[in-house]
Amino acid sequence: MSYGFPPYDKKSYKESKKRRKQALRAAKTGRILPYGTIRRRVVVCLCAAVLAAGVIIGGYALYANFFRNTESAIAENPKTEESPELLQIVNRNNPLEQSYVPKLTDFMSFKISILAYDDLSHLFDEAESQNISLDLTSAYISYDEQQKLYDVKLNEFLADPKYTAVRAQAAVQKIIPQGGNSEAQTGLLVSFDVNSEQTEAFLERNCINYGFVLRYPEDKERTTLMSGSKNIYRYVGKDNALKMRSYNMCLEEYVDYLSEQKNAD
């Protein structure tokens, strides 16, 4: 009884055994590989090919996803050091249009330019780590709101008999610019509550590490056309801030310097 197996054939068995010996002998001489070996190698090669394809496809997917995320992040939060707004001077000689509104985001109870958000947040974190009380008193101001502030202050000066209209306007413009003449409209100008010498020293020491500079130094009034202030800071980016401190330049001087360097090249 064969129990389902084919009946034993002595002749076929001998021929099969002979073919196996010949295949093994050929394999030893390097002429041909045994069928089992060939099959194993084919399987290994196929597995390797499938694995490689998976790695390539997966890698491409990760790269494409990373590229899309990076592109999106750049669009939402542009690379600050390359943004021309950082070195944009705004004053009575370089006014902004009434319709100009930068890309803004919320910071505490204020709005600021998205260009300054990260570094301003880190500056506050640094202050907290040093137990410094740091508070904002002003940030972005629209054209219309700036004009209202100017008008209120101008009326105060005009109420003083010692000021003529011309003198009053000149005096007010050095303190509170007219609408369109203030860098507060860029969202890059912020005012801090400098409530102690400790806070003032902290800002002076750390501001440039986070891209901020004192906008209206007392010794630069002739250049900035504004009265000196210890609490008004402007975001210009870290590289620019470090260079301005090194060169002892206000924003107007620094922009002129860069222009001269560019023309010299």
Diameter of the chain measured on Cα atoms:
133
| pLDDT over threshold 90, residue 203 | yes
Section 206-225 average pLDDT: 97
Pair (213, 117) in one structural domain: yes
* Residue 153 belongs to a domain: yes
Section 171-184 average pLDDT: 97
Q: Cβ distance 112 to 104 under 8 Å?
A: yes
101 contacts: CB under 8 Å, gap ≥ 6: 142
What is the pairing mode between strands 212-214 and 232-235? antiparallel
pLDDT at position 8 is 44
pLDDT at position 40 is 57
Q: Cβ distance 116 to 235 under 8 Å?
A: yes
| pLDDT over threshold 70, residue 37 | no
pLDDT at position 115 is 98
CATH of the domain at 189: 3.30.1380.10
Pair (129, 54) in one structural domain: no
Pair (121, 69) in one structural domain: no
pLDDT at position 2 is 39
* Residue 5 belongs to a domain: no
Average pLDDT, the chain: 82
Among 1-15, 152-166, 182-196, where is mean pLDDT lowest? 1-15
Q: pLDDT digits over 98-127, tens only? A: 999 999 999 999 999 999 999 999 999 999
pLDDT at position 34 is 52
Q: How confident is the model at residue 60 (pLDDT cuts 50, 70, 90)?
A: very low
| pLDDT over threshold 90, residue 82 | no
| pLDDT over threshold 60, residue 63 | no
| pLDDT over threshold 80, residue 182 | yes
Number of folded domains that form the chain: 2
Residue 226 CA to residue 229 CA, distance in Å, equals 9
